[in-house]
Amino acid sequence: MEGSLAPVAELAELKERYNALLMIDDAHGFWAVGENGLGTASLFGVRDKVDIHYGTFSKALGSVGGFCAGRSEVIDYLRYYARSAFFSSALPVSVAAAVLESIRVVREEPEHLANLKRNRDFFQHELERRGFNTLNSRSAIIPVLIGDEAKLGQLQMSLFAAGIFTNIGTTPAVNASKCRLRLNVMATHTTEQLAFAADKLEELGKKLEII
C-alpha cells in the first residue's frame, strides 16, 4: 500500500540461513520492475533464490488471472492441495493468448518499461514538489497520503469530475489516519497528462487544505 519494496535480498539470506522456503507475491512487480520487467527478486539480483513466485495478469499485463511458479514438486503439491487451485477452473484460451501476447510485447518492446520508469519518476517528483507525501514509493503505484477519510472521498470525486480516475486505500486496508490516494502511472501516459493531473491535484489539495 506504500509502493515500497520488500528487502528481498535480506529475506533470501535468512531463507538460506534457516533452510526455509521463500515466497514472493509480486503482483505489482512483474513486468514493472527489475531487468526486462522480471520482478522484485530480479531487481535485487536474487531471482533464483526465491522458491515460489506469485504474480497476476490483471496489473501490468491488463488481463485477468494469475500464476504461481516454482520447482515442479512444489507446483504439483499446490495443484493437489491448494484449495484456491483445486476448486478453480483453467483460464479461458482467449485469456491465455492475450497474456502471452502481452508478455511478448514486454520482451520485444523494452521502450514500454523505459517509458513507465520515466513517467513514474516524473510524476512522483511533480507531486512531491507540490508538497504531497508519496511515502517514498518505489513502484508504479504512487500513494498520496491524505489522512482524513472525508477529504479523501471529496478529493477522489473531484478528481473524477475532472477526468482523472484514482483508486483509494482506506480502512480496513490501512489505518484511517493513513488513508491515501493510489495513483497508477502507465507507460502510455504523456508528460502533458501527468502534469495536468499534478496541477489538478495541487489545486484540489489546497482547496481541501491537504497541502
Last residue of a domain, one of 70, 86, 108: 108
Residues 77 and 136 in one domain: no
Name the maximum alpha-carbon separation found in the chain. Answer: 57
Residues 48 and 81 in one domain: yes
Give the distance from CA 23 to its chain's centroid: 17
Residues 151 and 198 in one domain: yes
Number of domains in the chain: 2
Residues 167 and 179 in one domain: yes
Residues 85 and 165 in one domain: no
Residue 2 lies in a domain: no
> Which pLDDT tens digit goes with each residue over 164-202?
999 999 999 999 999 999 999 999 999 999 999 999 999
The domain in which residue 87 lies consists of 8-108
Closest CA to 60 of 1, 136, 135, 117: 117
CATH classification at residue 100: 3.40.640.10
> Which pLDDT tens digit goes with each residue over 123-139?
999 999 999 999 999 88
In this prediction, residues 50-75 reach a mean pLDDT of 93
Residue 1 lies in a domain: no
Measured CA to CA, the distance from residue 120 to residue 189 in angstroms comes to: 10
Q: Are 28 and 56 in contact (CB under 8 A)?
A: no
In this prediction, residues 54-64 reach a mean pLDDT of 92
How would you class 18 by CB atoms within 10 Å of its CB: exposed for 0-12, middle for 13-18, buried for 19 or more? exposed
Residues 202 and 191 in one domain: yes
Residues 181 and 159 in one domain: yes
Cis peptide bond N-terminal to 172, omega within 30: yes
The conformational region for residue 207 under phi > 0 = left, psi -120 to 50 = alpha, else beta, is: alpha
Residue 62 lies in a domain: yes
Q: For the chain, what is the mean pLDDT? A: 93
Residues 46 and 121 in one domain: no
